[in-house]
Homo-oligomer: A and B are copies of this chain.
Amino acid sequence: MINYRAPLEDLDFLFHDVMKMQENFLQVREGEVVTPDVVTSIFMEAGKFCESELSPIYQTGDLGCVWQDGNVTTPEGFREAYSAFIAAGWTSLSGDPAYGGQGLPSSIMIAINEMLAGANWAWSMYPGLSEGAIATLEAHGSAEQKEEYLHKLISGRWSGTMCLTESHCGTDLAQIKTRAEPVDDGSYLVTGTKIYISAGDHDLTENIVHIVLAKLPNSPKGTKGISLFLIPKFLPTANGTAGVRNNVNCGSIEKKMGIHGSATCVLHFDGAKGFLVGNPHEGMSAMFTYMNVARIGTAAQGVAAAELSYQTAAAYAKDRLAMRSISGIKNIDGPADPIIVHPDVRRMLLTQRAIAEGGRAMVVYASQFADVYRAGITEVSRMEAESRLGFCTPILKGFLTEQGFMCASLGVQVFGGHGYVKEWGAEQILRDSRIAMLYEGTTGIQALDLIGRKVLLDEFSQLKVFTREILAFCAEFLPWKRNQYTFKMFRKILVLARLTIRWRYLAIRIGLRAKRDADYVGAASVDFLMYSGYVYMAYMWSKMSLEAHKKLSLCQGNRQFLQAKLHTSDFFFARVLPMADSHSRSLMACTGSLMNMPESSF
């Protein structure tokens, strides 16, 4: 049975010790400063909610949503959990105080989102999608729209969706067919069918606010002709309640591999009344606001999958008795030893743990840029943070969702045959986590965003900022000071420095080759993304190790926790990180190995 435990100690360590987020918080949104004590207690409360309200309905939620007569009913317990969630004010945590939000830094919400997804991925989709709609309206809505909708969305009484995909196009939004016709009152009638709309219909809230991509008449071709519309399920009345039903209907819900408790809807807009958000034809750039929020959230889901599958598998491995340890019997009174004594079981568990903790650090590291980007005091600091966040985002999304799925598969493996049957829940984590590599832009799309937009078009500047930071970190260790750090720590730093220098080299090489071979960028993209992910994670493990060493030498903190950090870090460098070199070698291969085969031979 799955029994999620919130990683509170790890979050405290990351926020207060490793990343020193407190220093960052001082630069964001004026007003009350968020002290470490407050952050810790927020995490504690959120963790309690996840453990006691969401985790118990994770496996039962796999029975799925029911669609009948155009309405979706969520699984048992989802409504009650959602009511408790909004009653406790969780949806308003990082919302704009002008609209009833608590104005706390985004990084806190991002960390909580990982916990929500860890405890109940499917359930967490409902508030998760609202966050995207809120971010879009905060950034691009008119003052009236904000006033009319943001209070409800931030309070969680209404929820939001993002309607992009149509059956013939997901990635390539230039092809969308949904049309918006202007009418006299300044609104639009929107017609078209959207698919794969998470939280597109459900029974959790009074109203649902759809943010929809559609084309105006005579709009330019391609993505430059896309506009953004707000289309509520019920049109708000003058006093702000949900009024007349709009012409948007849920035609069916998808039968999917996993996240069955999350309703993935086909939505028909049949001349639905909609309102333009932002300027005409600027829908795509507005959509990127949402995308960035969503992609970091998805990266956190990858971490959540690694964490939950780790917890589930580790508990089983301590309990299940099979075979004897090769290095001598460990459980003399039992019929066999617990399987955690076997090195290969430990290899799987430590891989999951190294990814979960390393991934969490990656997300927290990037979320400090999200804080400044969203609420930094100066325009310069906001723009700088936006660039840094933009560089990290595709790495986080692509790398961590791939790793999260891989960890979920290891989780199944630890269970042996029991991993394949529904009873234990391990297979559900695997099925659920598979979606993360697909939605909000596939791994391939993240990889192109990284190497194309964030490295080459950016002329390597953000790559330089990041690698310079890592190399400066490494330089502190040179020369090695015997009395300060272990030799093991020193060796880790050498590896990190080598991989970082190579990261730059690989990027430059791709840039040079791309000049004479346009397909080279695409050919190298995913390997480059994965390589980037490993270096980024190695940096995080180095930072965490260093902090653990420092605290241990000062006899501060929880000794067992800090020792475990060092052990996991050792494992990461010894047995996970070597994968980086394979990606580095694969991406050096010539494009011909991919492009020479004629299409007819496939």
Give chain A's interface residues, CB within 8 Å of chain B: 165, 168-172, 174-175, 196, 254-258, 264, 314, 317-318, 321-323, 325-328, 335-336, 338, 340-347, 349-350, 353, 405, 409, 412-413, 416-417, 419-423, 427, 430-431, 434-435, 437-439, 442-444, 447-448, 517-523, 525-526, 560, 563-564, 567-568, 570-571, 574-576, 578-579, 581-582, 585-586, 589-597, 599-602
* Contacts beyond the supplied A172-B321, A256-B420, A318-B602: 14 A-B pairs with Cβ under 8 Å: A175-B322, A254-B421, A256-B422, A257-B430, A314-B602, A325-B519, A342-B522, A344-B448, A350-B597, A405-B409, A412-B434, A413-B437, A564-B597, A567-B596
Given A257-B430, A422-B256, A523-B343, the answer on whether A417 and B602 have CB atoms closer than 8 Å is: no
Q: How far is the CB of A578 from chain B (nearest CB, A)?
A: 4
Most chain B Cβ neighbours within 10 Å, of A318, A419, A576, A590 = A419
Q: Is the CB of A323 within 8 A of B595?
A: no
Given A447-B344, A575-B593, the answer on whether A322 and B169 have CB atoms closer than 8 Å is: yes
Q: How far is the CB of A9 from chain B (nearest CB, A)?
A: 12
CB within 8 A of A574: which of B419, B560, B593?
B593
Number of copies: 2
Q: How far is the CA of A345 from the CA of B172 in the complex (A)?
A: 15
Q: Is the CB of A601 within 8 A of B336?
A: no
Q: Is the CB of A346 within 8 A of B578?
A: no
Q: Is the CB of B581 within 8 A of A585?
A: yes
Q: Is the CB of A519 within 8 A of B438?
A: no
What are 23 of the A-B contact pairs (CB < 8 Å)? A170-B416, A170-B417, A171-B416, A172-B323, A174-B335, A175-B321, A254-B422, A255-B423, A314-B602, A340-B602, A343-B525, A344-B444, A349-B602, A413-B444, A420-B435, A427-B434, A560-B600, A563-B601, A564-B601, A567-B597, A567-B601, A568-B597, A575-B593
CB closest chain-B residue, reference A335: B175
Q: Is the CB of A571 within 8 A of B594?
A: yes
Q: Is the CB of B574 within 8 A of A344?
A: no
Most chain B Cβ neighbours within 10 Å, of A423, A525, A589 = A589
Most chain B Cβ neighbours within 10 Å, of A327, A344, A564 = A344
Q: How far is the CB of A438 from chain B (nearest CB, A)?
A: 5
Interfacial chain B residues near A409, Cβ < 8 Å: 405, 434
Interfacial chain B residues near A585, Cβ < 8 Å: 578, 581
Interfacial chain B residues near A518, Cβ < 8 Å: 326-328
Q: How far is the CB of A201 from chain B (nearest CB, A)?
A: 17
Given A347-B526, A582-B579, the answer on whether A570 and B595 have CB atoms closer than 8 Å is: no
Interfacial chain B residues near A447, Cβ < 8 Å: 344
Interfacial chain B residues near A318, Cβ < 8 Å: 599, 602
Interfacial chain B residues near A264, Cβ < 8 Å: 421
Q: How far is the CA of A522 from the CA of B328 in the complex (A)?
A: 13
CB within 8 A of A444: which of B342, B417, B520?
B342
Q: How far is the CB of A473 from chain B (nearest CB, A)?
A: 23
Q: How far is the CA of A336 from the CA of B170 in the complex (A)?
A: 12
Interfacial chain B residues near A574, Cβ < 8 Å: 586, 589-590, 593
Q: How far is the CA of A214 from the CA of B437 in the complex (A)?
A: 45
